[in-house]
Structure 1
């Protein structure tokens, strides 16, 4: 299928998407923010023992993005060595079991695995991924797709290593070969707007810490076989008493709090 035809398909999908977005956002929870409100809210957060670093008040830009199913992993799986590989055509995912598990520690695992993924015989397209500590746990290391248009926090473009007894024993991988811009860029909410508004809407408890605030794309829906992505702020909050982390998601375009994952997944909360 040539690029022009793909582009036409995504344009059709996008226009049909407009109706869906209008109906969804009209009924969603809207964050309220202003410059003066943000300033006073920051002071109030500090008084309530909520810790955070410097909050960026600059508004950036983002897009609606689209992608089509891709079998690049299956087509290149013969390049992998030292592992048993299986490919699932239904979700275009590759599963690998390493013949020689990789020994790691809690302090060196990122360095070790960053080096491992750079070699194509170990991981296909490994240079397209970067480590995401906020999505990782003691038993798994998550790498997300990172391209020129931004990062993707979604199972459709993710590399997840499985850890057992301080050894990496295998991984699962999905991949997006190319992303298509479906609409001209739009202004997005700033980090400061999002975090102060989350607090104003009782989404950030007292005595907590903002561990991460990441802007990334995630799957909104699949239409006519094509995946539509929107920009979302992922804000990870750690309770200082319980040490439990939770992740709040905010639509970067509208500022609406996403009460549940846009793609139906429930494991995008850091542990």
Structure 2
């Protein structure tokens, strides 16, 4: 593989992001301004019966990341056992139906599936995936790709098990062999900034609970046969009466609320 050529491609793609980001963020996202009254906002939220844990005030750092299409799943498919497997070349997706479904309950499914995932004859590169309760639902158990740079909440790098009548019957898997840093690290918004600004913009209703507030990478765009990822805060809010949960997404670099998905994914939190 010509790594020098790949580096050049990513450099070209990254510099083309400047204009794209300016236009897309201005047109499709709502700007969330920083607030100097976070403390009073937190107090007001509690008065309105909005529940949440301790909000981290630390402003960390993250990157623009990139990946190239990878055929590692197709190249290792012969290692899998006791399942019917197909590989979709266009989307680089492995689709599996288990010969013997795995019985799980709401209480034990994480423990059981963690063991299942770690066995190479069950799942390829299983040690690269981590269970995500935030993205899982009654009908799906979702594992996300993770490495030293962080977690990826995106269908380009995900392991999704299908659950029917208390049994895991199969899964779909996508995989990226590695992430490439496209630019030096940049400061990101803190958890507290994100949550209080969501409330200030009427995105958190009264009588609700913030179940999760996780930082992960998700796909921004595809260009020149490459995928570009940005850091996003995924904030899941559950209504205390209806129990219905929604997940808000916020660009961690800018603080912009992402009104429409950058990749077309709709996540349903458990």
* Residue correspondence of structure 1 range 3-18 to structure 2 within 5 A: 3-18=3-18
User: Once the 2 structures are TM-superposed, how far is the Cα of residue 269 of structure 1 from its aligned partner?
Assistant: 3.2
Q: How many residues align?
A: 269
- SS of 2:196's partner is helix
Q: 1:123-148: CA deviations, max 9, x gaps?
A: 00000000001111111100000111
Q: 1:55-112: CA deviations, max 9, x gaps?
A: 0000000000000001100000000001100000010000011111111111111000
Q: 1:180-223: CA deviations, max 9, x gaps?
A: 00000000000000000000000000000000000000000000
Whether 1:137 and 2:137 are equivalent positions in the alignment is yes
Whole-Å separation in 1 of the counterparts to 2:221 and 2:267: 16
Instruction: Identify the range of structure 1 (97-106 vs 244-253) with the bigger mean alpha-carbon deviation.
Output: 97-106
Q: 1:208-262: CA deviations, max 9, x gaps?
A: 0000000000000000110000000000000001110000000000000000110
Q: 1:7-30: CA deviations, max 9, x gaps?
A: 111000011111100112233311
Whole-Å separation in 2 of the counterparts to 1:55 and 1:110: 26
* Residue correspondence of structure 1 range 1-271 to structure 2 within 5 A: 1-27=1-27, 28-34=29-35, 36-265=36-265, 267-271=266-270
User: Once the 2 structures are TM-superposed, how far is the Cα of residue 4 of structure 1 from its aligned partner?
Assistant: 1.9
RMSD: 0.9
TM superposition outliers: structure 1 runs of 4+ over 4 Å = none
> Is contact 1:236–1:269 with CA below 8 Å preserved after alignment?
no
Whole-Å separation in 2 of the counterparts to 1:223 and 1:6: 13
> Is contact 2:137–2:268 with CA below 8 Å preserved after alignment?
no
Q: TM-score by structure 1 length? A: 0.98
Q: Flag structure 2 segments of 5+ consecutive residues without an equivalent.
A: none
Q: 1:38-70: CA deviations, max 9, x gaps?
A: 111000000000000000000000000000001
Whole-Å separation in 1 of the counterparts to 2:4 and 2:38: 44
User: Once the 2 structures are TM-superposed, how far is the Cα of residue 2 of structure 1 from its aligned partner?
Assistant: 2.3
Whole-Å separation in 2 of the counterparts to 1:243 and 1:228: 34
Whole-Å separation in 2 of the counterparts to 1:56 and 1:175: 31
Whole-Å separation in 1 of the counterparts to 2:169 and 2:241: 33
* CA shift in 2, pair 1:269/1:167, >3 Å: closer
Q: Flag structure 1 segments of 5+ consecutive residues without an equivalent.
A: none
Whole-Å separation in 2 of the counterparts to 1:102 and 1:270: 22
Whole-Å separation in 2 of the counterparts to 1:236 and 1:31: 18
Whole-Å separation in 1 of the counterparts to 2:23 and 2:84: 46
Whole-Å separation in 2 of the counterparts to 1:165 and 1:244: 21
Q: TM-score by structure 2 length? A: 0.98
